[in-house]
């Protein structure tokens, strides 16, 4: 007797306009199949994260895995060749898919790739989750436009001028509580991936591209293996050739930095490359070494640039690893938002962007990120100067690079120290970002920088670390919970417009910055405050 057909997920949310176009019975059945097959393994891997963190706390050390040394030493294997649409990635723009105007502007930006974000740059309200799926579906069907309040209409350029979409689903740790199967919420990663893949994989192939993904918050090669198994299952389910899916992994956790080759190996038939993300990487270092002593206390977040020795070790190892295995190495974010009022501020900031992108291109990166369309030509010029007519520089194997386990966490090479201005900035940015996130806006311009959840994570983590380490600031003042509360109250009074979200943001920042038990992700308690 055959088993009964599995039920589709239950939708536990107020209806959103046009959601029936996304939540078809067939698409929901696919999401249910993903959930039943892969969520138990997801749960096991989250438990392994906790075990690994406990081991780091016990030893204060981390290293390259001995069990996979033979794989790293094997010179033979490579990832699959890049598809034509991902061969040249010299400039990539990032932004949330839930914003319709931003969707059009990103596709029209002149960047080679648009990272269409369902993760750190998106506040996962149910409306945003559905709207992001609809915006991408509408864009591929060329039925998307946007009319601003002033009457200006935004529409797509010809197909050959549009950026290639690489979609970023949520990380493994986040659930989508509005979709449940067998009484359990579906992991946000599987909900985002499943709905997008089901509706768009074949359509993208028909357009000469494919279902391409950025994988966030990966902490080990076992998590990459899980994603690979998801891809294999999805392609079989849809009747698509294996290797149709391509994935770029963000190396934004310190544990993943020690397993770059293993991550590429697990995804080798589906891998496109690796990316270096600064804020999440620093957040991960604090999270894992938060109680490892003064040697792991970071100074002001803006003082830790990509030229810091331990950050240079991380990025150079990424380039070396990617090119050794035939993958793209994608550099970090230029988050500056040009000011229409202050040309001097613009020029000073653009000079820093040029220096950063010139360094990345010179180091061997094949492309890099920007947060605003005005930065696309700036970054492109830097990479054009190095690449010329070549689509990438994977031939630069960087065999001169030899990075030790110790160099990746040599935080004592930093000359800067925590400052009172840095503490206030962490509070300011943390409150402002969380307030916006609670209103459903996940990409926020704060002090001329485009910020996402990673900014709030590093800000609150530094506050937690400085309090618990008893850091003394440049003013001679010791960082205490009382000091953080005092500064937070001042900033709330300065920014509060009377809406409830400001007080919520203030209270949540203090909770995740001052609670004795460190919250792994601030977005977990924050999600409980969303509709």
| Annotated domain spans of the chain | 19-387, 417-527
Sign (positive/negative) of CA torsion 310, 305, 512, 170?
negative
| Pairwise CA distance, residues 39 & 509, whole Å | 30
Closest CA to 121 of 290, 335, 413: 335
Instruction: Please report the DSSP string for 192-235 in residue order.
Output: HHHHHHHHHHHHHHHTT---EEEE-S--SHHHHHHHHHHHHHHH
Closest CA to 64 of 217, 263, 328: 263
Query: In the chain, which residues have pLDDT < 50?
Result: 1-5
Active-site residue set = 168, 452
CATH topology of domain 417-527: Malate Synthase G; Chain: A; Domain 4 (1.20.1220)
CB-based contact 508:462 (threshold 8 Å): no
Instruction: Please report the DSSP string for 272-300 in residue order.
Output: EEEEE-HHHHHHHHHHHHTTS-GGG----
Evaluate if pTM is beyond 0.95: yes
* pLDDT value for 3: 41
Closest CA to 78 of 368, 363, 273, 318: 273
113-117 and 164-168 strand pairing: parallel
- Residue with token string 């953080």: 484
Report which DSSP code applies to 472.
Answer: B
Q: Please report, for residues 58, 264, 369, the alpha-carbon distance to residue 257 in angstroms, rounded to integers and kept in the order given.
A: 20, 12, 19
Class of domain 19-387: alpha beta
* pLDDT value for 6: 55
- Region at 63 (left for phi over 0; alpha for psi -120 to 50; beta for the rest): beta
* pLDDT value for 412: 85
């Amino acid at each position: 007797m055959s088993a009964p057909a599995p039920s589709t997920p239950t939708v536990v949310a107020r209806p959103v306009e046009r959601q029936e176009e996304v939540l078809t019975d067939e698409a929901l059945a696919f999401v249910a199949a993903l959930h039943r097959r892969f969520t138990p393994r997801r749960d096991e891997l989250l438990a392994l994260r906790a075990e690994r963190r406990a081991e780091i706390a016990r030893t204060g050390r981390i290293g390259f895995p001995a069990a996979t040394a033979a794989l790293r030493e094997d010179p033979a294997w490579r990832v699959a060749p890049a598809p034509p649409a991902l061969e040249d990635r010299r400039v990539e723009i990032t932004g949330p898919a839930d914003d319709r105007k931003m969707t059009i502007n990103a596709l029209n930006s002149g960047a080679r790739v648009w990272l269409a974000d369902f993760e750190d740059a998106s506040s996962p309200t149910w409306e945003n989750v559905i709207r992001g799926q609809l915006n991408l579906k509408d864009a591929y069907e060329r039925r998307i436009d946007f009319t601003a309040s002033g009457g200006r209409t935004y529409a797509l350029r010809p197909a050959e001028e549009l950026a290639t979409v690489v979609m970023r689903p949520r990380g493994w740790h986040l659930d989508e509580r509005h979709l449940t199967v067998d009484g359990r919420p579906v992991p946000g990663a599987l909900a985002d991936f499943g709905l997008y893949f089901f509706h768009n994989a074949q359509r993208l192939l028909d357009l000469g591209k494919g279902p391409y993904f950025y994988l966030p918050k990966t902490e080990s090669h076992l998590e990459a293996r899980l994603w690979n198994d998801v891809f294999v299952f999805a392609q079989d389910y849809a009747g698509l050739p294996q290797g149709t899916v391509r994935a770029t992994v963000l190396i934004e956790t310190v544990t993943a930095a020690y397993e770059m080759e293993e991550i590429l190996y697990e995804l080798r038939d589906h891998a496109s490359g690796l990316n270096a993300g600064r804020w999440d990487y620093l957040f991960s270092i604090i999270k894992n070494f938060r109680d490892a002593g003064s040697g792991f206390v970071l100074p002001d977040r803006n003082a830790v640039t990509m030229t810091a020795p331990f950050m240079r070790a991380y990025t150079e190892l990424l380039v070396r690893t990617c090119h050794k295995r035939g993958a793209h190495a994608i550099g970090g974010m230029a988050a500056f938002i040009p000011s229409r009022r202050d040309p001097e501020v613009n020029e000073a900031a653009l000079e820093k962007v040029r220096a950063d992108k010139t360094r990345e291109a010179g180091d061997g990166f094949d492309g890099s990120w920007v947060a605003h369309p005005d930065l696309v030509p700036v970054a492109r010029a830097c990479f054009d100067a190095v690449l010329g007519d070549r689509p990438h520089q994977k031939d630069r194997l960087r065999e001169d690079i030899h990075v030790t386990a110790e160099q990746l966490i040599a935080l004592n090479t930093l000359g800067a120290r925590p400052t009172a201005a840095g503490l206030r900035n962490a509070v300011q940015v943390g409150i402002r970002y969380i307030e916006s996130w609670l209103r459903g806006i996940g990409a926020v311009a704060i002090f001329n920088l485009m910020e996402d959840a990673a900014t709030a994570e590093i800000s609150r983590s530094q506050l937690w670390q400085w309090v618990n380490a008893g850091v003394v600031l440049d003013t001679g003042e010791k960082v205490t919970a009382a000091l953080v509360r005092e500064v937070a109250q001042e900033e709330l009074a300065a920014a509060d417009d009377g809406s409830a979200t400001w007080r919520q943001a203030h209270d949540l920042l203090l909770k995740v910055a001052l609670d004795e038990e460190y919250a792994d992700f601030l977005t977990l308690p924050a999600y409980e405050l969303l509709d």
